[in-house]
Amino acid sequence: MIKILFVCTGNTCRSPMAAAIMEKIAIDNDLDVLIESAGIFAEVGGRASENAVKALDEMGIDLTFHQTKPITEELIEKSDIILTMTEGQKELLKPVAGNDVYTLKEYGGGHGDISDPYGGDIDEYRETAKEIYDALVDVAERIADIQNGNSENNKS
């Protein structure tokens, strides 16, 4: 099993969307993963943003029960892979997480940040959800390769 932690700023938009989308992709592709999300500046027990919930609902994914949580040393230590939404978030975590932290796009073989829809309209959230989904398809392929023994990046 590979333990993946998705990290954004407030754990209300991008990281919970990424975690929920990855959960669906993992089920659809029979990947053995444990998925969590957290935020660098998140509060405990908040909800996902309304438009994040709506955008994922349109994809058939339920985000209504998400509760925000801040990143902790314990979450970092129990994660095999930490995927941030931005290069800045990656740089903040690198001193604590070491070489196990990547941006979401970087881990999937791309580059750049996942756009932040916070405060935006539903269309911005839809675009971000699509951007996350596209990156996660590549991430899922990499994880499948690891789990099938086709990569040297397997920590589990």
Catalytic residues: 8, 14, 116
- 151 DSSP 8-state letter: -
Containing H/E element for 81?
A: strand 81-84
Q: In the numeric block, which tokens belong to residue 9? A: 């700023």
Contact 83, 5 (CB under 8 A): yes
Please tell me the distance from the alpha carbon of residue 129 to that of residue 26, in angstroms, as a whole number: 16
State the DSSP H helix or E strand holding residue 6, giving kind and residue range, or none if neither: strand 2-8
Q: Are 81 and 90 in contact (CB under 8 A)?
A: no
Q: Which amino acid is at 125?
A: Y
Collapsing DSSP states into helix, strand and coil, what is residue 80? Answer: coil
